[in-house]
Amino acid sequence: MTEEELRKRLAMLRTEHRDLDAAIDALTAAGSTDQLQIARLKKRKLRLKDQISMVEDELLPDIIA
């Protein structure tokens, strides 16, 4: 992937991560009793965080000094 494609993917992943965070907050604030759905959303959010980290690592590789 090119750097531009990685940056677009990173922006998309961050947006989806924020949306999931908002959805989890909304369900929790509404007093949702569907804990399974909330748990699934949280798990998806964690997977997105891992993907974000992987893309960031590709964009900014470690420099051995």
* pLDDT at residue 65 in the model: 58
The DSSP-derived string for 12-57 is: HHHHHHHHHHHHHHHHHHTT---HHHHHHHHHHHHHHHHHHHHHHH
Q: Which pLDDT score is estimated for 11?
A: 97
Q: 39-49 pLDDT, tens per residue?
A: 999 999 999 99
The answer to whether the CB of 27 falls within 8 A of the CB of 37 is yes
- Model pLDDT for residues 3-41, shown as the tens digit of each residue: 999 999 999 999 999 999 999 999 999 887 889 999 999
pTM: 0.84
